[in-house]
């Protein structure tokens, strides 16, 4: 048997662990999920305060504050979406 082939096989089996997902990836997924939940909560709170303001049950100051938070959350989500789309388009332009 060729020593070089055996050496290559041993090195390959030692590197197979590199294909396994890293623990940090799970943290990133959890962070993305938590961010999405926070975004949905912010939108829901803004909607609830706006409905309360229409019925006269909410303070106008609270309404303005909730609308500003909602606008900031939507702007951040749109910025992230734009960056993801831009990165995807860049990947599509890469030569294979």
Q: Is 4 a domain residue?
A: no
DSSP 5-16: HHHHHHHHHHHG
- Rounded to two decimals, the pTM is 0.62
What is the three-class DSSP state of 55?
A: coil
Answer whether residue 27 shows pLDDT above 90: no
pLDDT at 76: 92
Compare 7 and 66 and report the one with higher pLDDT. Answer: 66
Residue 87 tokens, joined = 């990165």
Number of domains in the chain: 1
Q: What is the number of other CB atoms lying within 10 angstroms of the CB of residue 70?
A: 19
Compare 92 and 5 and report the one with higher pLDDT. Answer: 92
pLDDT tens string 29-83 = 788 888 888 999 999 999 999 999 999 888 889 899 999 999 999 999 999 999 9
Domain span including residue 61:
22-93
Q: Is 7 a domain residue?
A: no
């Amino acid at each position: 048997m060729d020593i070089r082939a055996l050496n290559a096989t041993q090195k390959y089996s030692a590197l197979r662990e590199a294909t396994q997902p890293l623990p940090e990836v799970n943290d990133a997924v959890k962070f993305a999920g938590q961010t999405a939940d926070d975004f949905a909560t912010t939108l829901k709170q803004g909607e609830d305060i706006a409905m309360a303001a229409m019925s006269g049950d909410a303070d106008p100051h609270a309404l303005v504050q909730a609308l500003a938070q909602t606008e900031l959350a939507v702007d951040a989500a749109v910025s992230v979406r734009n960056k993801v789309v831009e990165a995807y388009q860049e990947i599509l332009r890469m030569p294979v």
